[in-house]
Protein backbone atom coordinates (compact mmCIF):
# COMPACT_ATOMS: atom_id res chain seq x y z
CA UNK A 1 0.00 0.00 0.00
CA UNK A 2 1.11 3.55 -0.65
CA UNK A 3 2.51 5.53 2.25
CA UNK A 4 0.86 8.71 3.49
CA UNK A 5 2.22 11.83 5.15
CA UNK A 6 0.12 13.94 7.50
CA UNK A 7 0.99 16.80 9.84
CA UNK A 8 1.29 15.47 13.38
CA UNK A 9 -1.08 18.02 14.87
CA UNK A 10 -3.48 20.82 13.99
CA UNK A 11 -5.75 23.21 15.84
CA UNK A 12 -9.11 24.50 14.76
CA UNK A 13 -11.57 26.90 16.36
CA UNK A 14 -15.02 25.54 17.08
CA UNK A 15 -17.45 26.38 14.30
CA UNK A 16 -14.75 26.88 11.71
CA UNK A 17 -13.85 24.48 8.94
CA UNK A 18 -11.07 22.03 9.67
CA UNK A 19 -8.95 21.19 6.63
CA UNK A 20 -6.71 18.19 7.14
CA UNK A 21 -4.12 17.55 4.41
CA UNK A 22 -2.61 14.24 3.36
CA UNK A 23 0.14 13.48 0.88
CA UNK A 24 0.16 10.13 -0.91
CA UNK A 25 2.48 10.67 -3.85
CA UNK A 26 3.04 6.94 -4.47
CA UNK A 27 -0.64 6.04 -4.73
CA UNK A 28 -1.39 3.54 -7.46
CA UNK A 29 -4.33 3.52 -9.83
CA UNK A 30 -6.49 1.04 -7.95
CA UNK A 31 -5.94 2.48 -4.49
CA UNK A 32 -8.55 4.47 -2.62
CA UNK A 33 -8.03 7.25 -0.10
CA UNK A 34 -9.73 6.45 3.20
CA UNK A 35 -10.16 8.68 6.22
CA UNK A 36 -10.81 7.37 9.70
CA UNK A 37 -10.70 9.05 13.06
CA UNK A 38 -10.09 7.73 16.52
CA UNK A 39 -11.40 9.43 19.61
CA UNK A 40 -9.30 8.46 22.59
CA UNK A 41 -9.07 4.65 22.75
CA UNK A 42 -12.35 4.10 20.92
CA UNK A 43 -12.57 2.05 17.76
CA UNK A 44 -11.49 3.85 14.58
CA UNK A 45 -14.51 5.52 13.03
CA UNK A 46 -14.96 5.55 9.27
CA UNK A 47 -15.40 9.04 7.85
CA UNK A 48 -15.20 8.95 4.06
CA UNK A 49 -13.28 7.49 1.15
CA UNK A 50 -12.80 8.10 -2.55
CA UNK A 51 -10.92 6.97 -5.62
CA UNK A 52 -10.51 10.07 -7.76
CA UNK A 53 -13.66 12.14 -7.52
CA UNK A 54 -14.41 14.47 -4.64
CA UNK A 55 -16.81 12.97 -2.15
CA UNK A 56 -19.17 14.40 0.44
CA UNK A 57 -21.27 12.80 3.14
CA UNK A 58 -22.96 13.92 6.31
CA UNK A 59 -19.67 13.99 8.20
CA UNK A 60 -17.15 15.51 5.84
CA UNK A 61 -15.93 16.27 2.35
CA UNK A 62 -12.94 14.71 0.65
CA UNK A 63 -11.07 16.64 -1.98
CA UNK A 64 -8.60 14.62 -4.07
CA UNK A 65 -6.21 16.42 -6.39
CA UNK A 66 -6.36 15.61 -10.07
CA UNK A 67 -3.03 13.77 -9.97
CA UNK A 68 -4.26 11.92 -6.86
CA UNK A 69 -1.03 12.61 -5.03
CA UNK A 70 -2.69 14.46 -2.20
CA UNK A 71 -6.07 14.98 -0.59
CA UNK A 72 -7.80 17.13 1.99
CA UNK A 73 -10.45 16.13 4.48
CA UNK A 74 -12.80 18.97 5.30
CA UNK A 75 -14.94 19.07 8.43
CA UNK A 76 -17.17 22.02 7.53
CA UNK A 77 -18.13 23.17 11.03
CA UNK A 78 -15.83 21.64 13.61
CA UNK A 79 -17.20 20.94 17.07
CA UNK A 80 -15.40 20.03 20.28
CA UNK A 81 -16.46 16.41 19.69
CA UNK A 82 -14.37 16.37 16.50
CA UNK A 83 -11.19 16.42 18.60
CA UNK A 84 -9.53 13.15 17.61
CA UNK A 85 -6.65 11.58 15.70
CA UNK A 86 -7.44 11.56 11.99
CA UNK A 87 -5.88 8.91 9.80
CA UNK A 88 -5.49 9.15 6.04
CA UNK A 89 -4.98 5.64 4.64
CA UNK A 90 -4.37 4.60 1.09
CA UNK A 91 -5.39 1.10 0.15
CA UNK A 92 -7.40 -1.12 -2.10
CA UNK A 93 -10.17 -1.77 0.39
CA UNK A 94 -8.56 -4.82 1.88
CA UNK A 95 -6.45 -4.62 5.05
CA UNK A 96 -5.80 -0.94 5.81
CA UNK A 97 -2.45 0.03 7.31
CA UNK A 98 -2.59 2.96 9.72
CA UNK A 99 0.16 5.55 9.72
CA UNK A 100 0.79 8.27 12.26
CA UNK A 101 -2.28 10.44 11.71
CA UNK A 102 -3.04 14.04 12.60
CA UNK A 103 -4.11 14.93 16.11
CA UNK A 104 -6.81 17.56 15.66
CA UNK A 105 -7.66 19.76 18.61
CA UNK A 106 -10.86 21.78 18.32
CA UNK A 107 -10.86 24.69 20.73
CA UNK A 108 -13.78 26.75 22.07
CA UNK B 1 -27.56 -0.43 12.48
CA UNK B 2 -25.69 -3.44 13.82
CA UNK B 3 -21.99 -2.89 14.41
CA UNK B 4 -18.98 -5.09 14.99
CA UNK B 5 -19.26 -6.73 18.38
CA UNK B 6 -16.22 -7.69 20.39
CA UNK B 7 -15.97 -9.65 23.61
CA UNK B 8 -14.83 -9.47 26.24
CA UNK B 9 -14.36 -5.73 26.45
CA UNK B 10 -11.77 -6.04 29.18
CA UNK B 11 -9.52 -8.93 30.09
CA UNK B 12 -6.75 -9.31 32.63
CA UNK B 13 -4.34 -12.22 32.32
CA UNK B 14 -1.05 -13.20 33.87
CA UNK B 15 2.18 -13.72 32.00
CA UNK B 16 2.40 -17.04 30.18
CA UNK B 17 -1.38 -17.50 30.24
CA UNK B 18 -3.63 -17.79 27.19
CA UNK B 19 -6.35 -15.37 26.11
CA UNK B 20 -9.09 -15.60 23.52
CA UNK B 21 -10.87 -12.62 22.00
CA UNK B 22 -14.07 -12.94 20.01
CA UNK B 23 -15.43 -10.87 17.19
CA UNK B 24 -18.88 -10.86 15.62
CA UNK B 25 -18.88 -9.00 12.29
CA UNK B 26 -21.63 -6.87 10.88
CA UNK B 27 -24.31 -9.20 9.41
CA UNK B 28 -23.53 -10.29 5.84
CA UNK B 29 -19.92 -9.12 6.05
CA UNK B 30 -17.60 -11.86 4.86
CA UNK B 31 -14.22 -10.45 5.87
CA UNK B 32 -12.80 -9.96 9.34
CA UNK B 33 -9.65 -8.10 10.37
CA UNK B 34 -7.70 -7.97 13.62
CA UNK B 35 -5.64 -5.01 14.78
CA UNK B 36 -3.48 -4.37 17.83
CA UNK B 37 -2.96 -0.93 19.35
CA UNK B 38 -0.34 -0.61 22.06
CA UNK B 39 -0.29 2.34 24.49
CA UNK B 40 0.42 5.56 22.62
CA UNK B 41 0.71 3.73 19.31
CA UNK B 42 -1.30 3.57 16.12
CA UNK B 43 -3.37 0.49 15.23
CA UNK B 44 -1.28 -2.26 13.64
CA UNK B 45 -2.81 -4.81 11.31
CA UNK B 46 -2.42 -8.40 12.50
CA UNK B 47 -4.39 -10.70 10.23
CA UNK B 48 -7.55 -10.98 8.16
CA UNK B 49 -9.91 -13.69 7.00
CA UNK B 50 -12.23 -13.96 4.03
CA UNK B 51 -14.81 -16.71 3.84
CA UNK B 52 -13.09 -18.57 6.68
CA UNK B 53 -9.69 -18.58 4.96
CA UNK B 54 -6.73 -16.45 5.99
CA UNK B 55 -6.55 -13.56 3.58
CA UNK B 56 -3.75 -11.20 4.59
CA UNK B 57 -1.12 -11.42 7.29
CA UNK B 58 0.45 -8.48 9.05
CA UNK B 59 2.61 -8.29 12.12
CA UNK B 60 0.96 -11.11 14.05
CA UNK B 61 3.33 -12.85 16.49
CA UNK B 62 3.79 -16.60 16.13
CA UNK B 63 2.24 -16.99 19.59
CA UNK B 64 -1.03 -15.65 18.21
CA UNK B 65 -3.46 -17.48 15.97
CA UNK B 66 -6.87 -16.69 14.65
CA UNK B 67 -9.66 -18.27 12.72
CA UNK B 68 -13.02 -17.44 11.20
CA UNK B 69 -15.89 -19.80 11.76
CA UNK B 70 -18.79 -20.88 9.56
CA UNK B 71 -21.04 -18.18 11.07
CA UNK B 72 -18.32 -15.65 10.15
CA UNK B 73 -17.41 -14.81 13.70
CA UNK B 74 -13.70 -14.83 14.46
CA UNK B 75 -11.50 -15.59 17.43
CA UNK B 76 -7.99 -14.39 18.19
CA UNK B 77 -6.04 -16.76 20.39
CA UNK B 78 -2.99 -15.48 22.21
CA UNK B 79 -0.71 -17.85 24.07
CA UNK B 80 2.34 -17.47 26.30
CA UNK B 81 1.25 -13.94 27.02
CA UNK B 82 3.92 -11.32 27.60
CA UNK B 83 3.67 -7.94 29.28
CA UNK B 84 4.12 -6.33 25.86
CA UNK B 85 0.92 -7.93 24.64
CA UNK B 86 -1.04 -5.51 26.80
CA UNK B 87 -2.97 -3.52 24.24
CA UNK B 88 -6.31 -2.66 22.75
CA UNK B 89 -7.33 -5.25 20.16
CA UNK B 90 -9.73 -4.20 17.45
CA UNK B 91 -11.74 -6.36 15.18
CA UNK B 92 -13.15 -4.95 11.97
CA UNK B 93 -15.34 -6.30 9.23
CA UNK B 94 -16.28 -5.56 5.65
CA UNK B 95 -17.70 -7.00 2.50
CA UNK B 96 -14.83 -8.22 0.38
CA UNK B 97 -14.08 -5.94 -2.57
CA UNK B 98 -12.02 -3.01 -3.68
CA UNK B 99 -13.26 0.25 -2.26
CA UNK B 100 -15.52 -1.28 0.34
CA UNK B 101 -15.68 0.22 3.79
CA UNK B 102 -14.10 -1.46 6.80
CA UNK B 103 -15.96 -0.94 10.06
CA UNK B 104 -14.30 -1.31 13.43
CA UNK B 105 -15.53 -2.58 16.75
CA UNK B 106 -14.95 -0.80 20.03
CA UNK B 107 -12.05 -3.05 20.96
CA UNK B 108 -11.03 -5.44 23.69
CA UNK B 109 -8.62 -4.24 26.33
CA UNK B 110 -6.07 -6.88 27.28
CA UNK B 111 -3.90 -6.28 30.30
CA UNK B 112 -1.11 -8.76 31.03
CA UNK B 113 0.23 -8.64 34.58
List, for residues A19-65, the tens digit of each pLDDT value.
999 999 999 988 999 999 999 889 999 999 999 999 999 999 999 99
- Which chain A residues touch B98 with a CB distance below 8 Å? 30, 32, 92-94
Query: Between chains, do A44 and B104 touch, taking CB under 8 Å as contact?
Result: yes
- Is residue A76 within 8 Å of residue A47, measured between CB atoms? no
Q: Is B39 on the interface with A (CB under 8 A)?
A: no
Q: What does the pLDDT look like over B24-78, one tens digit per residue?
A: 999 999 999 999 999 999 999 999 999 999 999 999 999 999 999 999 999 999 9
* CA A43 and chain centroid, separation: 16
Smallest Cβ distance to A94: which of B4, B56, B90?
A: B56
Q: Which residue has the higher pLDDT, B88 or B99?
A: B88
Q: Of the candidates B96, B99, B105, which has its C-beta nearest A51's C-beta?
A: B99
pLDDT of residue A103: 97
Q: What is the pLDDT of residue A29?
A: 87
Percentage of chain A with pLDDT > 90? 87
CA distance A62 to B3: 24
**Cβ contact (<8 Å) for B42 and A101?**
yes
Distance CA A105, CA A47 (A): 17
> What pLDDT is recorded for position B79?
97
Chain B neighbors of A36, CB-CB under 8 A = 104
Chain A positions touching chain B (beta carbons under 8 Å) = 30, 32, 34, 36, 38, 41-46, 49, 51, 87, 92-101
**Distance of alpha carbon A39 from alpha carbon A79, whole angstroms:** 13
Q: Which of B45, B94, B104 sits opposite A97 (nearest CB)?
A: B45
**pLDDT digit string (tens) for B39-50?**
999 999 999 999
CA distance B112 to B20: 13
A100: nearest CB among B42, B90, B99:
B42
Nearest CA-CA distance, residue B94 and chain A, Å: 9
The CA distance from B21 to the nearest CA of chain A, in Å, is: 15
CA-to-CA dists, residue A74 to A47, B23, B32, angstroms: 11, 32, 29
Amino acid sequence: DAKTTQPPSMDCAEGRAANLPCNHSTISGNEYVYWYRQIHSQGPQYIIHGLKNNETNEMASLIITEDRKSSTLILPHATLRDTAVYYCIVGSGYALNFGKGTSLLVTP
Amino acid sequence: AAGVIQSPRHLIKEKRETATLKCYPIPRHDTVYWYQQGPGQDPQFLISFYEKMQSDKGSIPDRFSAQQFSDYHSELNMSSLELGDSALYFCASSLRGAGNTIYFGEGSWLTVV
